Copies of this chain bind each other. A is one copy, B any other.
């Protein structure tokens, strides 16, 4: 049950986390089908909020109605996806090794499955007020796993968050779930976040936002007497390689594609392509011209809030004032309090000498790095830190002459794209939305897709346990009819 809209104080955190732990102990026993019904009911109750939700969020975030309708659809789809995962059931990675009494020494019966870790604290994103916020991917996957959840509302869309929390509360009542399996708290001081992360009952943390915020939560967790995992999804510049043959053949098409990706949602996506790299050539000149033209035709737009706009303008200015950097596109039109898309350009040699150019400029911005040759381009690519995505625009001719590029890409990013744009994260089982630090604090997990549930579980095995005392997932007759590993053979 969510608290009211009022801000909480530090002493209240003890009570909230105690309630969360108490509810967790009940919630983890709720059977998977009932948990699935709960998630489906949350989706239903979010839809039932109707126009009030959309209007409230428009006021709080400046995001257009069509985008919010789409994001709401994605949010309810995610909840239903985790419900389907629970109904199917194989996600618990059940594994059975039968006893071999004749072995020396005798092999005991051992059976393993995943269990939830405990209360999870979620810090939602400002740029996804639905899909990565209060009832977003972190909350949905944690509830699916059987963990209780405490959401710290994002202050930039507190009314939206409170509305969504009310929908979850209704679903709790309707489906008869433990009262505090979900709680919603608000607080503007960073001390509240710190206290939630450091509370002894907190078992894991999900965060989507800035590098400084995500790293701070990680550091708070690491110095706990009992450290816990923190899944911070932070910044990414999503570097793009523009290979020579692709530019020769399709410079203009690629430019238009990327102008759209760079400015999609006013550049406020974590997969926004922020660094483009190419080798000096006629094709690159054509690309630059076409990209500048396309960008200059895109009208300025409002960002999520004024703080984000100011940060965009400051970071962009800093980048443009760096030695060797110039504007590739001109600010044709500008409107007060609106963000104008901008493309910067720099030579590879200057890029390599200015660390600050590698940092994300959150907003409708990218920098084009013009390299002297393919070796310099690879060099630039390799000096970048860990990324959510990296994209390669290339033809078969390009890949034949540079056969190691895809292998290299896997070292840099969680998602490797060929001939596409990184914005638009498909929600499916194969998606990896995560990547080497500083893209995330734990590259072994994804924040999107059903595997996101794996962040909130740990394996437990049962040795020599009579069948009737085992969880259903591990009973000999497989009453849940799930896929299991049997005696080391995958997925029988």
Per-residue interface assignment for chain A, residues 454 to 470, with 1 indicating a CB less than 8 Å from any chain B CB and 0 otherwise = 00011111111110010
Minimum CB–CB distance for A269 against chain B, Å: 14
CA distance in complex: A407, B226 (Å): 22
Q: Which residue of B29, B219, B424 is within 8 Å of A222 (Cβ)?
A: B219
Copies of this chain, tallied across the complex = 2
A191 to chain B, nearest CB (A): 21
- Residues on B with C-beta less than 8 A from A414 are 458-461
Assembled-state Cα–Cα distance A428/B110 (Å) = 8
Chain A, range 416-471, C-beta contacts under 8 Å to B: 416-420, 424, 426, 428-432, 434, 436-438, 441-444, 446, 450-451, 457-466, 469
> Which of A117, A414, A418 neighbours the largest number of chain B CB atoms within 10 Å of its CB?
A418
User: Which B residues lie within 8 Å of A428 (CB)?
Assistant: 97, 107, 110, 488
Q: Which of A424, A426, A431 has the most CB of B within 10 A?
A: A426
* In the complex, chain B residues whose CB is within 8 Å of the CB of A430: 95-97, 110-112, 461, 485
Q: Are A464 and B226 in contact (CB under 8 A)?
A: no
Task: Indicate if the CB atoms of A488 and B450 lie closer than 8 Å.
Answer: yes
Most B Cβ at <10 Å: residue of A90, A385, A410: A410
A213 within 8 A of B: no
**Interface hits, A65-119 → B, CB 8 Å:** 88, 90, 95-97, 105, 107-108, 110-112, 115, 117
Nearest residue, chain B, Cβ from A81: B488
Given contacts A222-B222, A419-B464, A490-B483, contact A457 B444 (CB under 8 A): yes
A229 touches B97 (CB 8 A): no
- State whether A434 touches B451 (Cβ < 8 A): no
A441 in contact with B227 (CB, 8 Å):
yes
**How many A residues have CB within 8 A of the partner chain?**
72
Q: Are B227 and A117 in contact (CB under 8 A)?
A: no
Residues of chain B with a CB closer than 8 A to A108's CB: 420, 426
Asked whether, in the complex, the Cβ of A431 is within 8 Å of the Cβ of B117, the reply is no
Are B418 and A469 interface neighbours, CB within 8 A?
Answer: yes
B488 touches A226 (CB 8 A): no
The residues of B that contact A111 with a CB separation of less than 8 Å are: 430
Q: Which of B385, B463, B490 is within 8 Å of A90, CB to CB?
A: B490
A256 contacts the other chain (CB 8 A): no
Residues from chain B with Cβ under 8 Å of A229 in the complex: 442, 444
Question: Complex formed: what's the CA distance from A202 to B335 in Å?
Answer: 48
CB distance from A109 to the nearest CB of B (A): 9
Instruction: Return chain B residues, CB-CB under 8 Å to A424.
Output: 105
- Shortest C-beta distance, A308 to chain B (Å), equals 25
Tell me which residues across on chain B come within 8 A of A436, comparing CB atoms.
226, 458
Across the interface, A107 reaches (CB within 8 A) one of B415, B426, B488, namely B426
Quick check: B491 and A490 within 8 Å, CB to CB?
A: yes
Interchain CA distance A75-B178 in the complex, whole Å: 47
Q: Which B residues are in CB contact (< 8 Å) with A451?
A: 459
Does chain B have a CB within 8 A of A413? yes
Residues of A within 8 A of B (CB): 28-29, 88, 90, 95-97, 105, 107-108, 110-112, 115, 117, 218-219, 222-223, 226-227, 229, 385-386, 396, 399, 406-407, 410, 413-420, 424, 426, 428-432, 434, 436-438, 441-444, 446, 450-451, 457-466, 469, 483, 485, 487-488, 490-491
Question: Closest 6 CB pairs between A and B?
Answer: A491-B491, A222-B222, A432-B461, A112-B430, A97-B430, A95-B430
What are 30 inter-chain pairs, A to B, with CB distance below 8 A? A88-B490, A95-B429, A96-B430, A97-B429, A105-B424, A107-B428, A112-B429, A218-B227, A222-B223, A226-B385, A226-B386, A226-B436, A227-B437, A396-B466, A406-B469, A413-B460, A415-B460, A417-B462, A418-B462, A418-B463, A418-B465, A418-B466, A420-B464, A430-B461, A434-B459, A436-B458, A446-B459, A450-B488, A483-B490, A490-B491
Q: A415-B460, A416-B461, A430-B485 are in contact. List 19 more A-B contacts (CB 8 A).
A: A95-B429, A96-B430, A97-B426, A110-B428, A111-B430, A112-B429, A219-B222, A222-B222, A226-B386, A226-B436, A229-B442, A399-B469, A419-B464, A420-B464, A431-B461, A432-B461, A434-B459, A444-B457, A451-B459
